[in-house]
Structure 1
Amino acid sequence: MASTSFSPYKTASGFLLPSIHSAPPFFTQQPNLSTQITHTAHWTRLILSYARHRQLFLLRVEDAETSGSNWDEILKNERINRKLLPTHLSFILADMVSKNLAIYEPVRQTRSVLLYWRTPEEWAEVLHGWADSTGQLNTILTFYDIVEPPVPSPLVGLPLTMLRKAIAILAKTSRAQTIAVADGEGVRFLSGNTTR
C-alpha cells in the first residue's frame, strides 16, 4: 500500500499545496507553543496565497464547518482524512488580524475576516493603475463601475471595505477624490502627485 507522500500536491483549481498539507498534525492545534507558532505561520502563508490564487477576499469560520465552500481545497485533505477544525481556524484568523494580515469583516465579530493578500496600499496602486490604463482619470466612476466593470480587471469583486481604504490612501496623495453620486458613492481618479 502506497503511503501519502509529503510532497506538494496540485488541487483541482491548479493551486500547488505545500508538502506540510499532507502531514496530519498540521490540521491539529498543537499544545507546544513553538510548534503552533510555526504551524500558524504556515497556515497564514497558505491561506493568503490560496486567496490570491482564487481571488477570494473573505474567510469565515463556517468555511471549516461546512462542505462545499471555496476553501475546501485547503481546509480539508481527504487524502489523509483530515480537516481544519473551526476552533483552530478561529485561532489562525485571530493571529492574522493581530499581525495586520486580515481584519474582521464585518467589524465587532470574530468569525469572518477580510484577507490582506494585497495590502490596502497595494490595492490603491492597482486601483490607480487600472484607472490610468483604462483612460478613466478625471472620470467620475461609481464604486459599482469599479468592482463590476464591463471588462474583467483585477478589481472584480473587491469588497467595498477594501475599495474605500484604497481610495482613502489615494486621496491622501491627491490621486483620488470621493464624490457623491445619485446612486451611491463615486470617485474621480486624478493623475496627482505622489510626493507631498
Structure 2
Amino acid sequence: MSLSTHTTISGFLLPSIHSAPPFFTEQPNPTTQSIATEQWIRLILSYARHRKLFVLRVEDAETTDGDWEEILRNDRINRKVLPGHLSNFMKVMVERNLAGYEPPRQMRSVLVYWRLPEEWAEVLYDWVVSSGQLSTILTFYDITDPPIESPLTNIPIPLLRKAIAILGKTGRSQLIAIADGEGVRFLPRSK
C-alpha cells in the first residue's frame, strides 16, 4: 500500500504517515522515534480539536468504537497503537504542557490541551464579554452547559478552573462561594 492521506468518517484528514505501518510501532532509533512522537502529538492535538475531545486514556488504544479509534487504529493496514506506546506520547505531551494528567497523581488519563489553558482563559473571557455577562456571577454549569452552544460547551471542570485561575491572576475573574458550590464573577479589564 502506498502512503496516502485518508478522510475519516468524522471528516478528519489523516496525514499520509498514518498509512505507514512503522508509524504504529516504537522505533529502535531514538531520532526516528522522536520524529514519530512529534507527528503523533500533532495528530492527537489536531484530531482532539476537530472532534472537540478533551480526555485521552491509555485504554483508548484498545477500545473499538471509541472516540479516538479513527486515529489510534488503521484497519486498512491492520495496525494500531499499543497502550504502552500511547502512554509514552501522553507522557511527552504532559512534559511539554500540551496535556495534564487528570485526575492528578496517575498516568493513565490526560486532559488534552488542543488549546492551552491560557488560550482557554481568553476564549472564556471573550465569551463572557460578548454575552454581556461581565460582573454577573456564573456557575461552572452556566459556563459548561450554556443555553446556546459556545466554544466552552462541555469543557472539563479542571480545565475551566485553570482558565479561571489565569484570569484571576490578571484581575479579570473572582471565585465566589454560592449556595450550590462555587461561582465566578468576571470583572472588566483594569485600565
TM-score (norm 1): 0.95
Supply the AA of the counterpart residue of 1:27.
F
Picking from 167, 170, 178, the partner of 1:173 is 170
The list of structure 1 runs, each at least 4 consecutive aligned residues, that deviate by more than 2 angstroms after superposition, is none
| Correspondences of 1:109-120 after superposition (within 5 Å) | 109-120=106-117
Partner deviation per Cα, 1:3-50 (whole Å, 9 max, x = no partner):
x33121110101010000000000001111000000000000000000
TM-score (norm 2): 0.98
Give the count of matched residue pairs.
Answer: 191
SS in structure 1 of the partner of residue 110 of structure 2: strand
What root-mean-square deviation, in Å, do the aligned CA atoms of Structure 1 and Structure 2 show? Answer: 0.9
Distance 1:185 1:7 in 2: 50
SS in structure 2 of the partner of residue 80 of structure 1: coil
Distance 1:43 1:168 in 2: 30
Aligned equivalent of 1:29: 26
Partner deviation per Cα, 1:119-161 (whole Å, 9 max, x = no partner):
1110000000000011111110000110011100000111111
CA displacement at 1:99 relative to structure 2: 1.2
Distance 2:125 2:145 in 1: 16
Aligned equivalent of 1:14: 11
Q: What is the percentage of aligned positions where both structures have the same residue?
A: 67
Distance 2:2 2:27 in 1: 22
Supply the AA of the counterpart residue of 2:141.
Y
* Structure 1 unmatched runs, 5+: none
CA displacement at 1:89 relative to structure 2: 0.3
